[in-house]
Amino acid sequence: MLYAVIDIGSSIIKYKIYEYSEGKIEPVIIHDKTTGLISYRKDNTLTDEGIEVLLNTLKELKKYSDKLHVDKSYYVATASLRNVKNKNEVLDLVKKSLNIDITIYTGEEEAKHSFHSLRWIDLPCDEGIFVDVGGGSSEITIFEDTDKILEQKSIPIGVLTIFNEYVSLLYPTKEEQQTIINETLKRINNLKINDFSMEYLYGIGKTFVTLKRLFEHLKVKPDKNNLITIEQVDLVLDKLSTNSKENYKPALQVDSERVHTIIPSLLITKALSIRFNIKKIYVCDVTLQDGIIFDIIEKNQ
């Protein structure tokens, strides 16, 4: 049986097909579309142009699913629609135009499904802080004993909100970096999370995979394992604090679509390391969709 999970994010609409057979789930196709929905907002409302981009992209992905004979498709949205005033109008229009039902996750629901993606991998430690950095928000889960959740929150800040609100050029300057760290810490503290000290931060999604590739490309990280130290984060933040062609080049070579969000993702990571005394980042090559599909299969059994 083929399942498609479509994650409508603030920057990218992520499309992933899974095959479920004999009790096993396997991802088989990834077909993501960059839309930048967060850039189509005015007065916290998704503009007509943004709605058209959303409709055209979903129409294309629906046709793709039909051609591949996908049995069931699940459409979910996170901060991309969660935070806009006209979300009900958008949902109604998508339903009327394409007969697609979109489920909008709360921040806590997004954090829960993201955390379940860890079922796909083996962790170096059975406690830590799990992080999914998105365009409009960042979901964290603090856990111990592998699956005992201590705190689960959605931080109302993401890489695109940082870039749009705090970065004057392409990379934030050292002064802007400090402002971003302070603002992220402020939003974390507003959530009134208990004090924890954790050695590991587990980062999921393309954001952290891209960071790992950048660190390797810059030769800051000498090995190919999934660990990044906070000292290495500080080194890269310092190295890329100047806007120049020389500094843009490594990020462009690693992932040209994320060149403007690479440093914001590092700054969110840095703020979390300060707040929770984190020493190491473990890069997990899984996504929110990987957690969602597990929950769908379990629910349907």
DSSP 116: H
**pLDDT the model gives residue 147:** 86
> What is the secondary structure of 224-266 as a DSSP string?
-SSEEEHHHHHHHHHHT-S--HHHHHHHHHHHGGGTTTHHHHH
pLDDT at residue 222 in the model: 83
Looking at the whole model, is its pTM more than 0.75? Answer: yes
What pLDDT is stored for residue 35 in this prediction? Answer: 94
pLDDT in tens, the chain (301 residues): 999 999 999 989 999 999 999 889 999 999 999 999 999 999 999 999 999 999 999 999 999 999 999 999 999 999 999 989 999 999 999 999 999 999 999 998 999 999 999 989 999 999 999 999 999 999 999 999 988 999 999 999 999 999 999 999 999 999 999 999 999 999 999 999 999 999 999 999 889 999 999 999 999 988 889 999 999 999 999 999 999 999 999 999 999 989 999 999 999 999 999 999 999 999 999 999 999 999 999 888 7
- pLDDT at position 211 is 96
Cβ(229)–Cβ(199) under 8 Å?
no
Q: Reduced to 3 DSSP states, what percent helix, strand and coil does the chain have, rounded to the nearest 5?
A: 45, 25, 30
Query: What pLDDT shows up at residue 299?
Result: 84
